[in-house]
Structure 1
Amino acid sequence: MATRLAAGVSPALAQPPEALPPVLFLHGNGDHSALWLTTVWRFESNGWPPERLRTLDMPDPLARDDDAVPQPQRSSSADQTRAAAAAVEALLADTGAPRLAMVGNSRGGYPIRDYVVWQGGGPRVSHAVLCGTPNHGVYDWDSNPGREFNGRGPFLRRLNGGDTDVVPGTAFLTLRSDGNDLYAQPDGRFSGRPGVPTGVDAAGPELRGASNLVLPGVDHRETAYSPRAFREIFRFLAGREPERLDILPEARPTLNGRVTGTPGGVPTNRPVANATVEVFRLDPATAARQGEALHRRTTGEDGAWGPVSVAPDWPLEIVVAAPGHPVTHFYRSPFPRSSAVVHLRPARPLSEADRAAGGVVLFTRPRGYFGIPRDVVLLDGRVPPNIATGVPANATATLRLPAERLGQPVAGLFNGERLLGRAWPVAENRIAVLELTG
């Protein structure tokens, strides 16, 4: 099928809010629903009713090494589809709508395809949007035959085995990069086999029978979470252009979410009880705390850590002390709008290299990757050494500081977003995370 660059679509009359379809957002492998935070804000800022926007957290978001073999704290493709189908029914029941739209990033597109095309979900789904989904696999190899991401494996062979990849009555859209997606590369270096052809290329996310759009320059996650992707998702669902790409602030945003964990180093979205969360307002010029904590709570069985009311121009420090994890000091830019999916997954355990330092600061971008020379990426005034040039493939930079730098401001710069934080003593099992919003 011919590919076209993202261009104009025939605009339809703007729909009244009650006629807009509910939208269910599905995250990717190992991720959580908070990655859709800015996308949801942009939909709300363009008049989409908040009650018709829902994000789904897969309990065990990481795929199994072999889709058919049970593995602790990991999910199969069938697990994902069951969870998506249940979420569809719940959202339709809550809204009373006859159909909804599904939007997925990366692995999140697989259960959409499976549910809509192969499990009879088409009559429930008006639109299906797949963003950076490796629809023909990350690789097509004889090795790892049971892997969900293997184009030669049983799961993708089934999904791709029909005469078309879509069903009548459901509108399909795929969004992909023109070559900057690390999971749509002809060389196997991102799958641990450099120099070995993968059997796929940049067009791997496309589907037969769908509208297939190319977003030049975007990386794997930006196919879903960037303003550029939002524009295409919005106009595909609404039949018109969005009025704005910026986010309209609220007077007093309310924040909430869940604390989740990484038992055994495996990321999950299962709630963590007995985690203490504190929220501090910061001086935007120094990242120093402004007074006592705005909020303090110990989580229960549901992992909920809020709610807390803030102002849309307050930078925040959110401290999470969860059993089995280092005390994590999250430094966040101001939150312009309310959200119930400000999920907090504490940082990884400290490594030997970390423990040799006075303090460790992680600079992370959940909704995209750092690309050099595409992006300006500076941590403490320097380009982080662990960020490779070329295809964006790393979302976290690490800075290890001597003890004399503890308590001093540390700046992270990514293009137009600047974050300030402070290093904390590794000797106290503490780590700082500068988490970008964009």
Structure 2
Amino acid sequence: MLFTRRAATAAALMLTTALSLLAGCAAPSDSSSMSDSSATYPPIVFVHGNGDSAALWLTTLWRFESNGWPRERLHVIELPYPLARDNDTKAQPGRSGTAEHMAYLKAEVERVLRATGASQVVLMGNSRGGYAIRNYIQNGGGAATVSHAILGGTPNHGVWAIKGYNEGSEFSGTGAFLTGLNAPKNATGDEVTGPVRWMTVRSDNNDKYAQPDGVWIGAKGTPTNVGYDGPELKGARNVVIAGLDHRETSFAPTAFAAAFQFLTGRAPEADIVPEARVVLSGTVSGLGLNPNDPASGDYVNNLPLAGAELTIYETEATTGQRLGAPVYTHKTGPDGRWGPFNPRAGVAHEFELKATGYATTHIYRSPFPRSSGIVNLRPERVTAAADKEAQALVIFTRPRGYFDARRDTVRFDGRTPPPGVPPAGAGVSSSRLRLDSAADRAITAEFNGERLAGRVWPAAAGHVSVLELSY
């Protein structure tokens, strides 16, 4: 099942924990929240992080909807080139700079204001997405168009703050971009731009990009000069939630509870409430190659992939076996869009993708409890030598968080921790299983109560299996 009783109980406990933490936070609700008597909820624009896509906000949107926020008031941007440049001042194929990022967000906010007739929006950003929000509010006119800004895991004081080390990067705490954003805005030294109301959400010590040691940036033993409190901002409501990893600061139930409380002044009443009729649609996107250095491999982009053939099968929940003929087929056009597709309630699915230049990719997903128009599908390429040598390749991935062997219950084909997952720390969001046999069989994975089942497919025939978690 998508959300087992155990997982539902855990989510409820996380929501309760979040609310108890919020009770001790600074800034009273009557000065930072919207009136409960509002006739309508304001539009929210969600901004994803570095290398990510709009689809990561899937469960957050479901939680807002389940607590009364109208679906048409929830808007998610899809940055075409979501990876930051190595040096923000130099153009780089397939990557975006801070100016482009801010301009893209500004255009989306203006579009949403026109479409909804609202005078202001709420902005929510994860990680790098928070940089675009801060830049827009401080330098792009957003102080007038934004009422609230919520930043989850944004490395506001850098991933590193080392004088002379890669200071052209937007992630450098001593570089021009962040020192400009963090410059005091008033006599009290606030780092946030008013009159916008600000909140940050951070982990206590489990965010890979807020670490005093450089282990997660390939410099173990080297001080980063950034502490666990790096995402905090003076002048904001700063919420600390124990145990969260970098992505969970935006996508965990506790992070949602913190955001909802901040915006409304009240606790959410529900986690994710299933819908009687589910409608799914989304985009197929691909991978790019650096035209100046093709040997450097693929980079992620969110450009639509035309000509991709999508076939959806219902599957048996414990084995991943197909339950008969396809229930949906589609070949994408220039916009890369697919759908609408109406899945049966409580049924797991295999999304098979075929596209020129890619492996035939079999994506196994849990049942969808609610509708969504942002289900992103991306076929795989097999480029690494170790992957090419395997008889079969299976990828277990958690887009909205990381695997933490000490914190989580994680199994992949019976292995715990899964291959590539370190014994301590939350810094890896996927695991690759290279099998020495391509014999057809079930392959299963579990993460804290969400269980997935797929099938093994032969790599020699150009197939890859992906088990993708929703939570």
Q: Distance in 2 between matches of 1:302 and 1:16?
A: 40
Residue of structure 2 equivalent to 1:56: 77
Q: Deviations over 1:352-411 (max 9, x none)?
A: 22222221110000000000111111101111131002220000011122325x321111
Q: Distance in 1 between matches of 2:357 and 2:176?
A: 37
Residue of structure 2 equivalent to 1:131: 152
Residue of structure 2 equivalent to 1:7: 22
Note closer, same or farther for the CA distance 1:18–1:426 as it changes in structure 2 (3 Å cut): farther
1:388 maps onto 2:422 in alignment: yes
1:144 maps onto 2:166 in alignment: yes
Using the TM superposition, name which of 349-358 and 61-70 deviates more: 349-358
Contact preservation (8 Å) 1:255, 1:339: yes
> Residue type matched to 1:367 in 2?
R
Q: Deviations over 1:254-284 (max 9, x none)?
A: 1111111111211001101111111111111
Aligned with 1:262: secondary structure? strand
Contact preservation (8 Å) 1:17, 1:49: no
1:84 maps onto 2:105 in alignment: yes
Q: How far 1:351 sits from its partner (Å)?
A: 2.4
Q: How far 1:17 sits from its partner (Å)?
A: 6.9
Question: Which of 435, 439, 456 is the equivalent residue of 1:401?
Answer: 435
TM-score (norm 1): 0.96
Note closer, same or farther for the CA distance 1:32–1:368 as it changes in structure 2 (3 Å cut): same
The percent of aligned pairs where both chains have the same amino acid is 46
Q: Gapped runs of 5+ residues in structure 1?
A: none
Q: How far 1:90 sits from its partner (Å)?
A: 0.8
Aligned with 1:342: secondary structure? strand
Q: Deviations over 1:276-314 (max 9, x none)?
A: 111111111321111111111111100012221112311
1:244 maps onto 2:266 in alignment: no
Contact preservation (8 Å) 2:411, 2:445: yes
Runs of 4+ in structure 1 deviating by more than 6 angstroms, as ranges, are none
Q: Distance in 2 between matches of 1:288 and 1:328?
A: 15
Q: How far 1:423 sits from its partner (Å)?
A: 1.2
Q: How far 1:437 sits from its partner (Å)?
A: 0.4
> Residue type matched to 1:225 in 2?
F
Aligned with 1:176: secondary structure? strand
Q: Gapped runs of 5+ residues in structure 2?
A: 1-18, 290-297
What does 1:105-254 correspond to in 2, within 5 Å? 105-141=126-162, 142-163=164-185, 164-245=190-271, 247-254=272-279
Q: Distance in 1 between matches of 2:308 and 2:69?
A: 34
Q: Deviations over 1:146-187 (max 9, x none)?
A: 011011111111111233222332110000000100000011
> Residue type matched to 2:277 in 1?
R
Structure 1 vs Structure 2 CA RMSD: 1.6
Aligned with 2:386: secondary structure? helix
1:68 maps onto 2:93 in alignment: no
Contact preservation (8 Å) 2:29, 2:262: no
Aligned with 1:80: secondary structure? helix
Q: How far 1:131 sits from its partner (Å)?
A: 0.3
> Residue type matched to 2:274 in 1?
P
Contact preservation (8 Å) 1:98, 1:124: yes
Q: How far 1:136 sits from its partner (Å)?
A: 0.5
Q: How far 1:14 sits from its partner (Å)?
A: 6.6
Q: Distance in 2 between matches of 1:94 and 1:121?
A: 17
Aligned with 2:301: secondary structure? coil
Aligned with 1:268: secondary structure? strand
Q: Distance in 2 between matches of 1:269 and 1:16?
A: 39
Contact preservation (8 Å) 1:105, 1:130: yes
> Residue type matched to 2:53 in 1?
H
Aligned with 2:285: secondary structure? coil
What does 1:361-372 correspond to in 2, within 5 Å? 361-372=394-405
Note closer, same or farther for the CA distance 1:16–1:274 as it changes in structure 2 (3 Å cut): farther
